[in-house]
Amino acid sequence: MKTMVEFKKNFLTNRDETGRFIVNSYRTGKTYFIEPIGPDRPADWGSYNPSTGKIENKKGFDKFTGAINEKDSMITEENGFENIRYSGVGGSPFSVIDELDSKYPTINKIS
């Protein structure tokens, strides 16, 4: 595996297209790498318009995919990752992070 600095740089390159991001837990100090995995097409999302009660697309819709194909994943055992988890279709990666993070002791007390 490359150095962690190189890996993070490559992981976050073109993140609008890939949807990749990193979450750092202030409570435990653990770092979680996230990759939305989906079909090779733009994501189905928009903004809720309270005046119409509908989801509306914003300027730039269809510009970025916001996800990767599973075969393009950088989160692999070959790259040094362990305990790789999927949140599932429609699931939130944050609930998986909360579950995993709860298994570690607190190192930083947050006020």
The neighbour count for residue 94, using CB atoms within 10 Å, is: 13
SS3 16: helix
Q: Residue type for 16, please?
A: D
The pLDDT of residue 4: 85
Q: Residue ranges per domain, the chain?
A: 4-39+67-101
Q: Residue type for 91, please?
A: G
Average model confidence (pLDDT) across the chain: 84
pLDDT above 80 (res 39): no
The pLDDT of residue 103: 93
Worst-scoring range by mean pLDDT, 7-21, 30-44, 80-94?
Answer: 30-44
Q: Show the tokens assigned to 41.
A: 């097409």
More confident call, 67 vs 8? 8
Over range 79-90, report the average pLDDT. Answer: 88
SS3 31: strand
48-75 pLDDT, tens digit per residue, is 778 888 777 666 556 677 788 889 999 9
The pLDDT of residue 43: 54
